[in-house]
Amino acid sequence: MSAIKIRDNIYAVGARDPEVRIFHGYATPFGATYNCYLILDGDKKILVDNVKAAFTEEFFRNIEEICPVESLDILIQNHIEPDHSGSFPALLERCPNLEVYCTAGAQKGLKAYYGWEGACHVVKMGETLNTGSYTFHFIPAPMVHWPDSMLTYLAEEKILFSNDAFGQHICPPVNYDDELGEERLMERAVDYYGNIVLPFGMQVTNLLKAASALDIELVCPSHGVMLRTYIGKMVESYAKWAKNETDPNKVVMVYDSMWGSTAEMTRKICAEFEAEGKQVHVHCLADEHYSAVMGDIVEAKTICIGASTLNNTMMPTVAAFLTYLKGLKPKNRVGLAYGSYGWSGEATKEVAAVMEGMGWEVLPIRKQLYRG
């Protein structure tokens, strides 16, 4: 990838990773990008975030299209997760006097990850950095995505560097939301939300409140395409998802099956829901990674989980999905546990217990001895 000119003095200088298929346990069938941004303000050169360590060379090449890496003055580190900070040691090697702006949590993280104990500008909500003609406003957003996370707003250009917020895992040959198309954008965004942001509805609501005062023309996230046309749609969707507004007509069915009996139950139950006019999304865990289900979970009111009994418990694929789901904490759902068994049939009871543990309304279990 080359540097992408966004404005006269602003460039995207991140890296593309079309090959990545699992990203910290999250399936990325369409690859990912690690976006970061270079801003020139007179003789000041400011970098917002950096990239995964393995992509440092590509990142440096992109910067060098604009200016020498050694000439960078300031690094705004919005978040310390290694996909945004992996090049930090290499950057410091080439720019030992780089001034770093980040939250207190990020400072701790930079020390823990990289042993870095340098002087740092620790920023809080509402604090700004003036670099001459530009003012950067810092907006800490704890848990969107980690405790150290923040966003940075460049007032004069009306650009929000949103880091993980509003991101999408995709590595398309285009740079902007309207080039990708609304449907594809929102499909990737809800997948990202379901896998990354879902547990943090309250924090997202707080962030949207803080961002509502800003005049934003361009959102530059750390993953996926930049938003210039569908900012309103994205913010509206985040607000809805953060409030856990589900669709009573949307049903998700997730299952695995050894001999096809639970698959057959899935087809029957699916047909029943469809006869009621519901929209059913079916995922078989033998074919799909458990994280591929999460985009549909975000808006579905009813979630049916099918597991046959294997050695007195549920199938491991379903157990893995439930472990993942529990961590992402979808609330206020209606659950149905179903599955086939041969003699003891523990699986469905175990699935229903997990649903109860998440506080869901649980429908009566549907169990079937072998093929009925």
Ligand X SMILES: Cc1cc2nc3c(=O)[nH]c(=O)nc-3n(C[C@H](O)[C@H](O)[C@H](O)COP(=O)(O)O)c2cc1C
Positions in the binding site for ligand X (CB under 6 A): 257-262, 308-312, 340-345, 370
Catalytic-role residue among 148, 164, 177, 296? 164
Smallest gap from Cβ 350 to ligand X, in A, equals: 12
3-state secondary structure 60-101: HHHHHCCCCHHHCCEEECCCCCHHHHCCHHHHHHHCCCCEEE
Closest contact distance (angstroms) between CB of 308 and ligand X is: 3
Q: Annotated catalytic, 83?
A: yes
Q: Torsion over CA of 187, 188, 194 and 199, rounded to 10 degrees? A: -120
* Residue 177: active-site member: no
For tokens 């998440």, what's the residue? 358
**For residues 59 and 341, which CB has a smaller minimum distance to ligand X in the complex?**
341
Shortest distance (Å) from residue 309 CB to ligand X: 4
Residue 223 annotated as catalytic: yes
Pairing of strands 334-341, 313-314: unpaired
Does the annotation count 41 as an active-site position? Answer: no
Cβ proximity to ligand X: between 121 and 349 the closer is 349
Of 101, 192, 238, 290, the catalytic one is 192
Measured from the CB atom, is 49 or 350 closer to ligand X?
350
Q: Which of 24, 70, 217, 370 is catalytic?
A: 24
Q: 210 CB contacts (<8 Å, ≥6 apart)?
A: 125, 139, 141
Nearer of residues 181 and 260 to ligand X, judged by Cβ = 260
Residue type, 253: M
Is 192 catalytic? The answer is yes
CA distances from 298 to 187, 206, 323, 326, 328 (A): 11, 19, 17, 13, 10
Whether 145 is a known active-site residue: answer yes
**CB of residue 271 vs ligand X: minimum separation in angstroms?**
17
Q: Give the pair of three-digit tokens for residue 330.
A: 């979808």
- Strands 32-34 and 15-17 come out as antiparallel
Question: Any catalytic annotation for residue 137?
Answer: no
Q: Cβ of residue 3: shortest distance to ligand X, in angstroms? A: 53
Closer to ligand X by Cβ: residue 250 or 367:
367
**How far apart are the C-alpha atoms of 171 and 33, rounded to whole Å?**
6
Based on CB atoms, which residue is closest to ligand X, 50 or 261?
261
CB 237 within 8 A of CB 189: yes
Find the shortest distance in angstroms from Cβ 343 to ligand X.
Answer: 4
**Spatial contact of 176 and 220, defined as CB atoms under 8 Å apart:** no
Give the integer Cα–Cα distance in Å for 244 and 56.
Answer: 38
Residue numbers annotated as active site? 24, 79, 81, 83, 145, 164, 192, 223
